[in-house]
Structure 1
């Protein structure tokens, strides 16, 4: 009888542990639909993708509904989702811009998407995460000269530029996309813009800005992708500062100028019980 009760107790314990999600064997718990749980931070959906040299304009085609992909989202082709045209109806929380070179991610910028549209999100005030350590994401003002989707002329777009004035040899930045110039339009072209593939997706190698005229530190991505997420950022809880009025009055009466030893003696005296000594009459005591 005792053995039966023991077995039933063990079965209940095992069932309770399994229901609590504690895995003794070290395997992942199976999902209700089969397979394993995927511990993804959130789900991202691609809405735009261009490849270097595919003759897509990263500016005009991004804005034009005529270039919306009708063949679906293929991983190996340029792509423009119809959801870009419904941006104002979607509750987009985050936007991510990613650059890939030979299948490896080489640059990433993640933005707050709340109360933005398909172009306004690309702004330093909305930036929340990036691999470039010299671009502020903590609210510090951006010190570069251009951070915008439109760029600074008719061929340079998706621009994150530190300097683009005067001598082309000193132009520097983080990313930019060179599109095919508009025909019949005069423009000043820097040497690094003389490319034979459109679009050309340029980025600074490593995690800092670089001069666009430095071939050792400039990379050329073969793909740029825009993705959106409907999962909001977690709300950060800020600590509440303690006001002086909240400090107990007794603690305020202790002067800082007093020696530490004096304060300790006062505290010890307050903690010790106070006794009143009374003289008791002793009849056997002889009077002198």
Structure 2
């Protein structure tokens, strides 16, 4: 038993150095000071918001497949990864939150947020943005229908989550923004840019400023949320 304890201690220090730890009943990923707490695959039929918010469901204690914390869609894990820290947000001392989008294993978009005094969803706001590849992300825009929201915009026909848009008027062709997670729609009642054969889809603008979704949107494969926090793992 002692040897197992020593082994787990060694693996713990490997984790601190940024390695994936698929043993000792734990699957986690750290990169420097950042630790992944959520990872979603596109087009896997699983709601990003529902799986992120599902209290009591934690992947790090049950998963053994390291592909489930991979940023490469080719890795064979179609399920979403969720760390139990999301349920302990208030007591974890969150300092920063980072949202990342990956395409074919390459980082294509990111936003870093101030995580202090936030909840597990309120960190996702314009006021909390610290840095991003989108240099105009904090531009003021208060027109009706604009969103910078984790829960986004939803009605009977459209389901847009983690939605950051800049203009929403004069029909679908004028929709301009930075990113949106489309979790579903009724064909014919949404916009052409969000029509897909399967969901969710992670849409983003590939350049450094907001632009028209119809003309310039691209689709990412993987969405990752990571944190810098005082206590990520349960004591």
Structure 1 residue runs of 5 or longer lacking an equivalent are 1-32, 232-288
SS of structure 1 residue aligned to 2:109: strand
Distance 1:96 1:105 in 2: 12
Question: Cα RMSD between the aligned structures?
Answer: 2.8
Q: Does 2:167 correspond to 1:163?
A: yes
Determine the structure 1 residue equivalent to 2:24.
Answer: none
Q: Is the 8 A contact 1:110 1:127 kept in 2?
A: yes
Structure 2 residue runs of 5 or longer lacking an equivalent are 1-12, 19-30, 71-76, 231-235
Q: Is the 8 A contact 1:180 1:199 kept in 2?
A: yes
Determine the structure 2 residue equivalent to 1:264.
Answer: none
Query: 90, 93, 110: which one pairs with 1:91?
Result: 93
SS of structure 2 residue aligned to 1:213: helix
SS of structure 1 residue aligned to 2:87: helix
Distance 1:71 1:84 in 2: 17
Matches within 5 A, 1:119-134: 119-134=121-136
Q: Does 2:151 correspond to 1:147?
A: no
Q: Does 2:43 correspond to 1:44?
A: no
Q: How many pairs were matched up?
A: 188
Distance 1:85 1:52 in 2: 23
Query: 60, 65, 78: which one pairs with 2:55?
Result: 65
Q: CA deviation at 1:210?
A: 1.5
Distance 1:170 1:132 in 2: 19
Distance 1:160 1:61 in 2: 20
Determine the structure 1 residue equivalent to 2:196.
Answer: 195
Change (3 A) 1:143 1:116: same
SS of structure 2 residue aligned to 1:88: helix
Larger Rg: 1
Matches within 5 A, 1:1-288: 43-65=33-55, 67-69=57-59, 70-71=62-63, 74-76=68-70, 77=77, 78-136=80-138, 141=140, 145-154=146-155, 155-181=159-185, 188-214=189-215, 217-230=216-229
CA shift digits 1:118-151 (9 cap, x unpaired): 1000000000010001123xxx645572100011
Distance 1:161 1:197 in 2: 22
Q: CA deviation at 1:208?
A: 1.3
Distance 2:44 2:57 in 1: 13
Change (3 A) 1:162 1:141: closer
Higher strand content, 1 or 2: 2
TM-score (norm 2): 0.72
